[in-house]
Amino acid sequence: MNDPLRDPWAGPMRLALAEAAHAATAGDVPVGAVVLAPDGAPIAAGHNEREATGDPTAHAEILAVRRAAASLGEWRLSGCTLVVTLEPCTMCAGAIVQSRVSRVVFGALDEKAGAAGSLWDVVRDRRLNHRPEVVAGVLADACAEQLTSFFRDR
């Protein structure tokens, strides 16, 4: 949906963009993620922390999914929505499938490493036992600009 005023995912994506800004402040690639409970309330958030922690798995999506599971006391995130500023990579797509997230909403496409439709489509692979709904392109320009600005400044 192109109209951010009418897009129901614009508000949660703005929360994810704010998370991404925290990553950039710490010198990490600005990717942010928010997990919404089945009722739409935010229950967890994360931003890239690879540089801060030295952990190659500290992607925004992984951290947000881990925190959501801890918050719910359950590894199954059925009914939950993951909102993330950049299309998930293969590692994150695998975690999304394994955690049973019901929906993935993302902003910018990642044509070099995206695994939710652009380069690969791991999250909707028919061979897997769980396939979340995917909503792409929410506030895509704002999400892409945040990344472009970060790399331009480096």
**Which of the residues are catalytic?**
61
Q: Are strands 32-36 and 81-86 parallel, antiparallel or unpaired?
A: antiparallel
Cα 47 from Cα 34, distance rounded (Å): 9
Q: What is the dihedral of CA 116, 118, 119, 125, to 10 degrees?
A: 40
CB 46 within 8 A of CB 86: no
Rg (CA), the chain: 14
What is the layout of strands, in order, in the sheet containing 32-36? 42-47, 32-36, 81-86, 103-108, 133-136
